[in-house]
Structure 1
Amino acid sequence: MESGNSTAEDSCPSVGGLRHAGLFGQPSFNFLDVWQHPTYNWHIVGWLACLLFLVITWSVALTLVIRHLRNYYDPQIQRHKLRIILYPPVYATLAWASYLRFDYATTILFFATLFEAFAVYNLYTCLQAYLAPYREEAQGRKEALSTKVLFLFKVNLKSKWGMHFRIIIDILVYQFPIWAIIDALVSLITQSRGLYCESSFSFRGAHVYLVIINFTSLSIILTALFTYLAVFSDQWKAGDIHAHGMFWCVKGPIMAIFYLGELLLSGLVYADVIKGTDGTHSSDHLPWTADEVKSGIYVIVICVTMCIAMLLMLRYFNVDRRMARASPDDNVGHYQQLGGQLTPNKLSPWMAFVDAYLIYIPEFLRNVLCCGVDSFRLARKRIELRARKKRAGGLADAGEHMLATKESYQDSPGYPMSPNYPTNPPPSTYYPSYPQH
């Protein structure tokens, strides 16, 4: 067996094009030979294993989608759940397609990255929808909070319902899906120009830089979401909201795919642990490079991870029992008020489909733009506060602090009760907060 690694520095830049060299898409699929010589047809065994996990994932996903469409009582929350439910099967299907055509893997996984970004966005907006009633109840109220996040660092907030904390979390969360889309586009462009260089850790290629930025972006959003979950832990408990379970259904696969599928497998290829073959132990006698072997293992990791996440969604993304119909003939909607914005009557399956999927992209763009507008407002507000503090500090140095108390003003020389105070003082000595004498 010979190693098929290609991590030399002179392998980057490589030949440009969306299709990169490789024989992974060309081996024969002789299913009858698998039962007689399974060790000579590992690519078929892996393909069948991925297909099995894919069938399970799609079966569970379609079951949940149909349940939501038939019991669509809470559009503010259920639209996000319906979008997240399709994330595991679609991502796994695209990964499985890249298993069949490794030469187009970068192009195929571009669309998988888009679904991943949208899933993260909908996870956060779903949690925001759950918090909406509590936020309206606390409108204008300052509630200080001090809590520990993952027992590692302490967070002190002047008001957990304030604009400052909300916009900061919005920025830290939305940077991940926005960067994921940019990352996918950069991967396609550099791949077409031969500058992606996924098979090497050369700093002359874009792949190593994208991995570093992805690691940073993932760390930022994890910190933000863990903080978000910790700050509103009382609300999750009060509303019986499975926020942590929903979080792991979405972020768990992303973490497993990145840390295990990308970092670990790439490191094993670089360390010559994962090797290529010379074709002597293959039924079609085709050699396999280490990157092609790694790609097959990578897809298996994705399919297994997404299947597990989909099974967890049966618990955390199912239709709430309190929103389900009392009977098959119940079209009025006998449900228990959950504190959210429930519709008086359930929407029809078609209207639910329109609300959940067809208005998705405009809503995503609008919310991202609104986040930018809110960020601008927050920055302007902070600038005004700093300027106000600076002016107040200058007045304090001059002995004319605008926020001076009445008692301190009375004790000051020249106060009207003093016998030496002039009968008609000049206007410059007046203080706006007190009557003129």
Structure 2
Amino acid sequence: MLKPEITCPTTPGLSTGGLYPGLDWSYVKSNPTENWHVVGWLVCLAMIFVTWIVTLTVVVKHLRNYYEPQIQRHKLRVLLFPPVYATLAWFAYLRFDYSTTIMFFAVVFEAFAVFNLFTTLQAYLKPFRIEAGDMKEPVDTKIMFIFKCHLPSKWGMHYRIITDILVFQYPIWALLDSFMSIFAELKGRYCEGIYSFKGAYVYLTIINFTSLSIILTALFTYLDVFHPEWVRGKVKAHGMFWCVKGPIMFNFYFGEILLSILATTGVIKGTDGTNGSIAWSVEAVKNGIYIIIICSVMMIDSFMMLRFFGPGDNIQNAASTGQTKKMTPWRAFVDGYLAYIPEFLHNCLCCGVDSYKLMKKRKALRKKKKLEAVNSNNPTDHLLSEEGEKNNNNNNTSYRMNELGEHTSV
């Protein structure tokens, strides 16, 4: 058995030495326990096949029953998250030497899935926003079920924009993180799975943990604040949330952090290749286990999405309102997928514009409060009030003296 190889920095370049499963079936048949990487590779392939079948079934059903494009376009985009992510992870299993580069695209797709989860919830909430109008509805909630928070109005611009910022920071950071990881890998300074402060991996992991915690806090609060609306609209908001964030949390906490700790402490060990077709380092073994976890989680997630992201509620809404008009499957495909990138850029731009408006509004409010505070504590006003009170006292005294003089003369 090989000892854990903890070295940082590493050899510069995207390739880490050409490690990938050798498919020597004679060794697999004679020593299956020593060739688990090949068996795991095939098991992952089978799970990906099931994931794609389940996902495509739901997608086709959406395309044939495209009654509510303002909602269903976001559902269609989220549905591709499990199969695409698992497929890219499987390629990273097959070619561990380029796993960092391959998983860059997986992380990008994950970021888009989070964005579309939030836009799906916003689409369901839009009729209630129109109904509320300019109404101010205060709400008391708890952040992460611990810290109490009072919102002057859950329909106000402040809470909406702040939530947008807290949610959008995660996909934006995920994109930046992926670019930085590839750049660091090219320089030999990424050091994946090694908790050494000489490499970028430990710093990016800390920032990822912080970013993930922020978006979880924002979405948990968002779900709680609008809970009455989810109940009224029969929206499966919590199920949708866990379909997207559940796999991300599980893969990050158990698949990335826990496995990295086990590899660093020597619990996960490499193989020397004496009873197998290829020698695997500790990092390669950890990566294989990580990919198996990803494919298993994504297969389960595809069945969850069959329930929570299916078109059932959209079909029921169309039937209850007597709507018979729907898009053709091709137009639905164009609306759901081909128009995605322009819409994403437009929403990010709108978030930036709204954030600027919010900043100006908050600045104006602070200026107004400051002027009110200055006016209330103006020393001139204080002197004028004292002088006025003094004049009033003098007038009262003169009036009383006059009354006393008249009374004496009588």
Please say whether Structure 1 and Structure 2 have the same fold, judged by a TM-score greater than 0.5: yes
The answer to whether structure 1 residue 297 and structure 2 residue 289 are counterparts is yes
Kindly tell me the number of residue pairs found equivalent between the two proteins. Answer: 388
The answer to whether structure 1 residue 313 and structure 2 residue 308 are counterparts is no
CA shift in 2, pair 1:334/1:134, >3 Å: closer
Contact 1:92 1:302 in 2 (8 A): yes
Query: Which residue of 349, 355, 358 corresponds with 2:335?
Result: 355
The answer to whether structure 1 residue 279 and structure 2 residue 258 are counterparts is no
- Determine which structure has more spread, i.e. the larger CA radius of gyration: 2
- Listed as ranges, the matches of 1:318-357 within 5 Å are 318-321=310-313, 323=315, 335-337=319-321, 345-357=325-337
Q: Offset of 1:201 from its aligned partner? A: 1.6
Report the more deviating stretch, 259-268 or 344-353. 344-353
Query: C-alpha deviations, 1:158-180, integer Å up to 9, x for none?
Result: 00000000001000000000000
Letter in 2 for 1:389: K
The answer to whether structure 1 residue 2 and structure 2 residue 13 are counterparts is no
Query: Which residue of 6, 12, 15 corresponds with 1:16?
Result: 12
Q: Among the aligned pairs, what percent are the same residue?
A: 56
Contact 2:139 2:150 in 1 (8 A): yes
- Listed as ranges, the matches of 1:108-257 within 5 Å are 108-257=102-251
Q: Offset of 1:281 from its aligned partner? A: 2.8
Q: Offset of 1:37 from its aligned partner? A: 2.8
The alignment partner of 2:2 has SS state of coil
CA shift in 2, pair 1:199/1:164, >3 Å: closer
Query: C-alpha deviations, 1:99-129, integer Å up to 9, x for none?
Result: 0000000110010011000000000000000
Report the more deviating stretch, 146-155 or 293-302. 146-155
Query: C-alpha deviations, 1:325-383, integer Å up to 9, x for none?
Result: xxxxxxxx96224xxxx976100000000000011011111111111111111111111
Query: What is the CA–CA distance in structure 1 between the aligned matches of 2:318 and 2:133, rounded to whole Å?
Result: 30
Query: What is the CA–CA distance in structure 1 between the aligned matches of 2:127 and 2:11, rounded to whole Å?
Result: 56
Contact 2:67 2:318 in 1 (8 A): no
The alignment yields a C-alpha RMSD, in angstroms, of 2.2
Query: Which residue of 376, 384, 391 corresponds with 1:396?
Result: 376
- Listed as ranges, the matches of 1:42-57 within 5 Å are 42-57=36-51
* 1:435 paired residue number: none
Q: Offset of 1:395 from its aligned partner? A: 1.2
The alignment partner of 1:143 has SS state of coil
Query: What is the CA–CA distance in structure 1 between the aligned matches of 2:236 and 2:313, rounded to whole Å?
Result: 14
Query: What is the CA–CA distance in structure 2 between the aligned matches of 1:123 and 1:281, rounded to whole Å?
Result: 46
Letter in 2 for 1:319: P
Contact 1:92 1:303 in 2 (8 A): yes
Contact 1:12 1:204 in 2 (8 A): yes
Q: Offset of 1:155 from its aligned partner? A: 2.1
* 1:423 paired residue number: none
Report the more deviating stretch, 206-215 or 149-158. 149-158
Contact 1:323 1:335 in 2 (8 A): yes
Query: What is the CA–CA distance in structure 2 between the aligned matches of 1:400 and 1:264, rounded to whole Å?
Result: 67
Q: Offset of 1:268 from its aligned partner? A: 0.1
Letter in 1 for 2:319: Y
Larger helix proportion, structure 1 or 2?
2
* 2:347 paired residue number: 367
The alignment partner of 2:320 has SS state of coil
Q: Offset of 1:322 from its aligned partner? A: 5.3
Query: Which residue of 40, 49, 60 corresponds with 1:66?
Result: 60
Q: Offset of 1:36 from its aligned partner? A: 3.8
Contact 1:74 1:343 in 2 (8 A): no
Query: What is the CA–CA distance in structure 2 between the aligned matches of 1:65 and 1:84, rounded to whole Å?
Result: 10
Contact 1:6 1:200 in 2 (8 A): no
Structure 1 stretches lacking a partner, 5+ long: 325-332, 402-408, 421-437
Query: Which residue of 238, 256, 280 corresponds with 1:288?
Result: 280
* 1:258 paired residue number: 252
Letter in 1 for 2:95: R
The alignment partner of 2:315 has SS state of coil
Query: What is the CA–CA distance in structure 2 between the aligned matches of 1:301 and 1:132, rounded to whole Å?
Result: 37
Letter in 1 for 2:16: H
Contact 2:141 2:149 in 1 (8 A): yes
Query: Which residue of 261, 264, 267 corresponds with 2:261?
Result: 267
Query: What is the CA–CA distance in structure 2 between the aligned matches of 1:155 and 1:334, rounded to whole Å?
Result: 38
Query: What is the CA–CA distance in structure 2 between the aligned matches of 1:220 and 1:116, rounded to whole Å?
Result: 16
The list of structure 1 runs, each at least 4 consecutive aligned residues, that deviate by more than 6 angstroms after superposition, is none
The alignment partner of 1:323 has SS state of helix
Report the more deviating stretch, 159-168 or 392-401. 392-401
Query: What is the CA–CA distance in structure 1 between the aligned matches of 2:22 and 2:14, rounded to whole Å?
Result: 23
Letter in 2 for 1:56: V
Letter in 2 for 1:2: L
Q: Offset of 1:147 from its aligned partner? A: 2.2
Contact 1:71 1:346 in 2 (8 A): yes
Contact 1:22 1:292 in 2 (8 A): no
Contact 2:31 2:275 in 1 (8 A): no
